Structures are given as structure tokens and as C-alpha cells.
């Protein structure tokens, strides 16, 4: 008798997730988007009682998952390339994230051109005086090669080169490497000669974001497209995706969803 | 080594005298299972590393991977600069940390007045309990700026900063084990030396330290293992540039830092290359341990 009850219980436990799966919305992709997506899904669950399962696997994996249908929604923190898309996949921009180029508070440099930043990161410009600053060496700080922020930064500033037919980073190998926004921030805040790049949402008074091509790194300049070191957060869905996923994306684009995006330090699109 | 042979002997004698003692057999099994946990873990880790890392070896080639000097995933996976950084930082930490540690151990065991030893010993033991991320933070806000000022260089996140932090981190291990082994020496050694007219300091350097060297070497071995395996503190103070450092005043990336920094988002062959970094690290530690076992064995004979 005990065995029968145990077996029944086991079967019951095994099938519950299957029953629930109908109302679970699966989302996977960019780890940068995952942070804000988790907050959105929690709020969505509170208002509608629908479960959203979020997995951070990286932008490329997210795009692939949406295309194959392994996830209902794919997340990408960069522009989706044409050849990555199929005709029945649709991308929706839900937020924008700026990448701030930051220097120490004691550094007099206020403005850099994209060209200058590219040359600094390639290791061609080594002294602040060449870009309008003091006669001091430049300490270049970057993120690790697997970071999404670094990927977006390299794409936007054309910091890529080809080796053996594969695209690799062109950032100088002698640059200091921080593993996370926080560490890049600490290094730049403590070193008067340093330059680093971090998510705009992480900029605070401990360091100074420079203007790029004359435009300050502000939400309005990014929304207007004037500040160009910015990346979109894109959600990808197949056209025949189910109603629940569609409703969830509509919720993100609604006023309540966009407010959460602003609270998390990103820029709203609606 | 002696303890090792002893346990083997007793194990064999148990098997030779079969007893219908169920509780005994049960505990015998429990002991075997416990003893196997470590072995099984090691085997699983090695198997896992090799199964994941072989793809990178196959694509890049062993020579290119181990002796290549450029780390540019997904095209080039040269980890030679990181091997060099790991070896230099560990060697530097041992060269600076071990003399300080051994002298501290002698001081605690032989020279310190009781009240002073009661302050120094708990302090050293506390040092062992401090998490490595705290060492890293300390290095970042104290040692790194100090190096910038002392050597007048733009960035203090250098190999030297890593060496200093590691030297401090291995202190408690080496001190505790060395002190224990000096205290464990039979009192006749010291008494004999003093009776022959040697001074206290002379007997310490010529009799006590040589007599305790097997224990001190064990402490050094554990210190080396800690230094080569340290990750978090190193990531915070060494700058992590994957280029070959020209001097100890340049940034460098160790093998462990390479794995920890890039594992989170790496995919495909890039992830595999990180596992192969782990294989290289594992081989290093195996070589290191066999080397020390060999030295200890030689000393005993």
C-alpha cells in the first residue's frame, strides 16, 4: 500500500511541471538583459500570476533559441544581424543601454571622438596629451573577452580584426582587464590616468563619463541617437509564438514595464 | 612517510584475520568509502577537465596552446604568458613569504615571551581565516596605490602587487606548520647544542631549523599550492592583461584568473580553451607535488 501511495505521489510530482508548462513563458539569451528581465518577470508574476522562466545564455545563444523555438522569447543586447534572422522572427526593442567611456575625476579631458577612443584602445595613442589632456600616460582598462559589454563596445568602435578568418578583439593586450562593471569602476576611480568603459547605469560620482563626439552620455542623447556608444536590448519572437509570450512583451512595453526598466538604470523606448 | 606505511600495515593485518564481526565490517566499509571520496573527486575532476578541454587542444594544437603567446579567442589560444605569470607570482611569493614565515615560527616557538606570543599567534591564525576577496580589496586600495607612488608608474596593478598579496596569504600556513614542527622536536636537540656551548641563536639556525626541515618543507608545499591556486585576490590586484609581462612592474594574468574571468560567458571552443587552461594547471600541481614528495623521500633516506 505504501509503495502504491509513493508511486502515485511520484507520478503526481513528475506531471505537475508538465501541467504548469502551458502557462510558463520561457525567455533566454543575453546576460545583460537577464538582470532587468528577472525583475520584470517577478512583477509580471505578481500582477498576472503567470510564470516567466529566464535563463542567461548570451546574446548569440538567445537569438538562436528564438529562431529554433527552444525558447519562446530570445534576448539580445546588441543589434541582431540580418543573417542571424529568419523571415518569421520579429525583433522588438524594449530598452536601450548606453556604454559610458569613463575617466578619473581628476582628469581634465571632457570630450573624446570615437576615432580617438578607438586609437586609445588599439594602443596607438599612449599619452593623454595626444587627445587634449595633460602629458601623462594612458592606463587602458577593458573587460574580459567574454563580456557582452566588451562585445558591444568593440562592435560599435570597430575594435575588431581578423585572424585565421575569425573575428577577434583588437584591444591592446597590455590593457588592464576588470571582470565586471564594478571592478572597472574601482580601477578608474582610483587611478588618475585610467580610461574605462562601463554600462551607463553604473556611472556615479566616483568617476566621470566623457562626451563622445561632443554629445554627453545622457538618456535623451541616446534616445535621440546622438550619443552613439549605445546598444539596444532586443527581444526576438517567432510570428506564431503563443498568446502568453506576446502579452508579456506588451506588458514590458507598457508604462508599468518601462518604469521598471528606468528603475533598473536603462533607457525607456516608449 | 612513516605514518603512511603504518596505516598500510594495519590494513593488511586486518584482512589477514577474518572476523565475523558485522559492525567491524560495516565500519571498515565506511572508512573505505570516506577514503575514496577524495580519490573519486580527483578522478572526476580530471576526467571532466580532459573531456571538455581536449577540443581546444585538438583545434589549436598542444604546442600552440601551451607555448603560444597570444590569447585572442576564438582564433588564438596561447596561454604561455599566463603560465609564466602563475610561476613568477608563486615563486616571488615563496621567496618573500617563506623567510618571513620561518623566522616568525622560530620566534613563536623559541624566542617570544609568552605575552607577545599570545598576541602574535592569534593574529596569524586570524590571518588564515580572512577570505581572499578581502585580501584582494586590501591589495587594490593599499598595495596598488603604494606601488604607483614608490615606483612612479601609471598603474600599480602589477605582478609585484600580486606577489605581495600572495606572500601575505601564505604566511599563516607556513608559520603554523613550521612552528608545530619546531615544537615537536625532542628537547635533547636543543639541550645538547646548548650543552656543547652553542649560543641560542646558533643552535636555532644550525640544529633546530635543519632538524625540522621536513615539516617546514610541508608548510612551504602547502603555501605554494595556495599561491598557485589563488584566484580572487589575484584578479583584483594583478591587472589581468593576457600579455607576456616584461617585468614585475607590468600587469599579468595567471592561469586561475584566466579561467575565473572568462568562464561566465564563454561558449564553444572558447570555453574548451578555458578547460584546457585547467588541464595545464592540474599538470603543474601534479608535477609540484611529485617533486616535493621526491625531495621529502630523499631527505628521509
What percent of chain B is helix, strand and coil (3-state, nearest 5)?
A: 80, 0, 20
Check if the interface score ipTM surpasses 0.90.
no
In whole angstroms, give the CA distance from residue A181 to residue A200: 10
Give percent of chain A with pLDDT exceeding 70.
Answer: 91
CB contact (8 A) between residue A148 and residue B148: no
Partners of residue A150 in chain B, C-beta under 8 Å: none
For residues B297 and B4, the answer to whether their CB atoms sit within 8 Å is no
φ/ψ bin of B40: left (φ > 0), alpha (ψ from -120 to 50), beta (otherwise): alpha
Minimal C-alpha gap between A125 and chain B (Å): 15
The helix (run of H) or strand (run of E) holding residue A53 is: strand A52-56
For residues A182-194, average pLDDT: 89
Asked which of A7-11, A189-193, A200-204 is least confident by mean pLDDT, the reply is A7-11
Return the higher-pLDDT residue of A6 and A29: A29
CB contact (8 A) between residue A193 and residue B267: no
In eight-state DSSP terms, residue A128 is: G
Return the higher-pLDDT residue of B273 and A147: B273
pLDDT single digits (tens) B249-271: 999 999 999 998 888 767 778 88
| Inter-CA distances, B212 with B151, B181, B198, B221, B299, Å | 38, 6, 18, 14, 11
On the 0-12 / 13-18 / 19+ scale of CB atoms within 10 A, A93 is middle
pLDDT single digits (tens) A9-56: 666 555 554 444 457 889 998 877 888 898 999 999 998 888 899 988
Q: Helix A243-253 vs helix A255-263: angle between axes, to the nearest 10 degrees?
A: 60
Q: Which residue, B197, B179, B166, is CA-closest to B97?
A: B166
In whole angstroms, give the CA distance from residue B74 to residue B78: 11
The helix (run of H) or strand (run of E) holding residue A141 is: strand A139-143
String of DSSP letters for A80-103: PPGGG--TTEEEEEEEEEEEEEEE
On the 0-12 / 13-18 / 19+ scale of CB atoms within 10 A, A178 is buried
Is A238 strand, coil or helix?
strand
| Inter-CA distances, A97 with A38, A148, B57, B181, Å | 17, 12, 38, 59
CB contact (8 A) between residue A31 and residue B141: no
For residues A148-157, average pLDDT: 85
Partners of residue A178 in chain B, C-beta under 8 Å: 240
Question: What pLDDT sits at residue B3?
Answer: 44
- Considering CB atoms only, which of B73, B140, B239 is closest to A145? B73
CB contact (8 A) between residue B265 and residue A183: no
For residues B253 and A175, the answer to whether their CB atoms sit within 8 Å is no
For residues A142 and A123, the answer to whether their CB atoms sit within 8 Å is no
- Considering CB atoms only, which of A168, A187, A191 is closest to B72? A168
For residues A228 and A173, the answer to whether their CB atoms sit within 8 Å is no
pLDDT single digits (tens) B55-98: 888 888 888 888 988 888 878 888 999 999 999 999 999 999 99
Q: Is residue B154 predicted with pLDDT exceeding 50?
A: yes
CA A195 to chain CA mean position, Å: 20
CB contact (8 A) between residue B241 and residue A177: yes
Minimal C-alpha gap between A53 and chain B (Å): 19
In chain A, positions 52-71, which contact chain B (CB-CB < 8 Å)? 58, 60-61
Minimal C-alpha gap between A181 and chain B (Å): 13
For residues B205 and B99, the answer to whether their CB atoms sit within 8 Å is no
Amino acid at each position: 500500500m505504501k509503495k502504491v501511495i509513493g508511486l502515485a505521489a511520484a507520478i503526481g510530482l513528475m506531471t505537475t511541471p508538465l501541467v504548469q508548462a502551458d502557462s510558463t513563458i520561457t525567455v533566454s539569451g543575453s546576460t545583460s538583459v537577464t538582470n532587468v528581465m528577472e525583475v520584470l518577470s517577478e512583477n509580471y508574476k505578481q500582477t498576472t500570476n503567470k510564470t516567466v522562466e529566464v535563463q542567461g545564455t548570451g546574446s548569440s545563444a538567445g537569438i538562436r533559441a528564438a529562431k529554433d523555438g527552444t525558447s519562446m522569447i530570445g534576448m539580445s543586447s546588441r543589434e541582431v544581424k540580418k543573417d542571424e534572422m529568419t523571415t518569421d522572427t520579429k525583433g522588438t526593442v524594449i530598452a536601450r543601454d548606453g556604454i559610458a567611456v569613463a575617466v578619473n575625476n581628476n582628469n581634465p579631458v571632457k570630450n573624446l571622438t570615437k576615432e580617438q577612443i578607438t586609437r586609445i584602445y588599439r594602443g596607438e595613442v599612449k599619452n593623454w596629451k595626444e587627445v587634449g589632456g595633460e602629458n601623462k600616460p594612458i592606463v587602458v582598462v577593458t573587460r574580459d573577452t567574454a563580456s557582452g559589454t566588451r562585445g558591444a563596445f568593440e562592435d560599435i568602435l570597430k575594435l575588431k580584426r581578423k585572424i585565421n578568418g575569425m573575428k577577434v578583439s583588437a584591444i591592446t593586450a597590455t590593457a588592464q582587464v576588470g571582470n565586471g562593471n564594478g571592478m572597472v569602476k574601482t580601477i578608474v576611480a582610483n587611478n588618475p590616468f585610467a580610461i574605462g568603459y562601463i554600462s551607463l547605469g553604473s556611472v556615479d560620482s566616483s568617476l566621470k563619463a566623457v562626451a563622445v563626439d561632443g554629445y554627453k552620455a545622457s538618456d535623451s542623447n541616446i534616445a535621440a541617437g546622438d550619443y552613439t556608444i549605445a546598444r539596444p536590448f532586443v527581444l526576438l519572437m517567432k510570428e506564431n509564438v503563443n498568446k502568453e509570450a506576446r502579452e508579456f512583451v506588451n506588458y514590458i512595453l507598457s508604462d508599468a514595464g518601462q518604469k521598471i526598466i528606468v528603475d533598473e538604470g536603462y533607457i525607456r523606448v516608449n | 612517510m612513516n605514518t603512511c606505511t603504518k596505516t598500510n600495515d594495519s590494513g593488511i593485518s586486518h584482512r589477514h584475520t577474518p572476523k565475523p564481526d558485522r559492525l567491524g565490517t560495516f565500519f571498515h566499509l565506511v572508512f573505505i568509502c570516506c577514503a575514496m571520496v577524495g580519490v573519486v573527486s580527483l578522478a572526476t575532476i580530471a576526467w571532466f577537465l580532459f573531456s571538455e578541454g581536449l577540443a581546444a587542444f585538438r583545434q589549436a594544437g598542444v604546442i600552440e596552446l601551451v607555448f603560444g603567446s597570444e590569447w585572442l579567442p576564438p582564433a588564438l589560444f596561447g596561454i604561455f604568458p599566463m603560465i609564466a605569470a602563475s610561476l613568477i607570482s608563486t615563486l616571488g611569493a615563496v621567496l618573500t613569504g617563506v623567510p618571513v614565515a620561518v623566522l616568525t615560527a622560530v620566534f613563536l616557538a623559541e624566542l617570544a615571551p609568552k605575552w607577545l606570543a599570545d598576541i602574535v599567534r592569534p593574529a596569524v591564525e586570524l590571518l588564515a581565516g580572512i577570505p581572499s576577496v578581502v585580501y584582494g580589496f586590501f591589495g587594490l586600495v593599499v598595495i596598488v596605490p603604494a606601488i604607483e607612488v614608490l615606483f612612479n608608474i601609471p598603474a600599480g596593478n602589477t605582478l609585484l602587487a600580486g606577489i605581495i598579496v600572495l606572500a601575505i596569504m601564505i604566511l599563516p600556513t607556513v608559520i603554523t606548520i613550521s612552528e608545530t614542527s619546531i615544537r615537536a622536536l625532542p628537547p635533547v636537540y636543543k639541550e645538547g647544542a646548548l650543552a656543547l656551548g652553542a649560543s641560542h641563536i646558533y643552535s636555532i639556525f644550525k640544529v633546530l631549523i635543519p632538524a625540522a626541515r621536513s615539516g617546514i618543507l610541508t608548510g612551504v608545499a602547502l603555501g605554494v599550492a595556495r599561491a598557485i591556486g589563488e584566484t580572487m585576490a589575484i584578479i583584483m590586484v594583478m591587472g589581468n592583461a593576457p600579455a607576456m609581462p616584461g617585468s614585475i612592474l607590468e600587469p599579468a594574468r595567471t592561469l586561475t584568473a584566466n579561467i575565473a574571468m572568462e568562464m561566465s560567458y564563454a561558449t564553444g571552443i572558447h570555453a574548451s580553451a578555458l578547460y584546457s587552461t585547467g588541464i595545464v594547471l592540474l599538470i603543474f600541481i601534479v608535477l609540484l607535488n611529485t617533486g616535493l614528495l621526491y625531495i621529502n623521500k630523499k631527505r628521509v633516506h
